[in-house]
Amino acid sequence: MSTYFKEEQDRIETNDSIFFRIWRNYQSLNDKIQFYRTERWSLIGFLALIFFLRIYFTQGKNINNKGYYAVTYCLGIHILNSFIGFISPLQDPEDEECSLDDKNSFLPQK
């Protein structure tokens, strides 16, 4: 192999290590705040309240201020998509090939 590939591999490993360190720090912070459920929801509610109050109070003052509509629309789609993913099962029972009398079935039976 030529030295070009070695240099390219070194560059990729350096970039990967930077992204890996950022991901590791994010994951560490995520693990630390996992147990503070009430505080997390309170913070999210407070930030949403500030966002909606800012939209309400700046609505009539600046006619060219249409960016809030796009941001709010995209945020709503993201929240809806996350909620649908949260309530959807990982495996659909109808897609599985098992009969109702199968003893290895994961569906509840009487």
SS3 annotation, the chain:
CCHHHHHHHHHHHHHHHHHHHHHHHHHHHHHHCCCCHHHHHHHHHHHHHHHHHHHHHHCCCCCCCCHHHHHHHHHHHHHHHHHHHHHCCCCCCCCCCCCCCCCCCCCCCC
* pLDDT for residue 9 is more than 70: no
Per-residue pLDDT averaged across 34-42, rounded? 90
Per-residue pLDDT band at 2 (split at 50, 70, 90): low
Per-residue pLDDT averaged across 56-73, rounded? 72
Q: What is the pLDDT of residue 43?
A: 92
Per-residue pLDDT averaged across 43-62, rounded? 82
Q: What is the pLDDT of residue 80?
A: 92
Q: How far is Cα 42 from Cα 30, in angstroms, rounded to an integer?
A: 16
Per-residue pLDDT band at 13 (split at 50, 70, 90): low
Per-residue pLDDT averaged across 55-83, rounded? 78
**Residue boundaries of the structural domains of the chain:** 20-85
Per-residue pLDDT averaged across 46-57, rounded? 86
Q: What is the pLDDT of residue 75?
A: 85
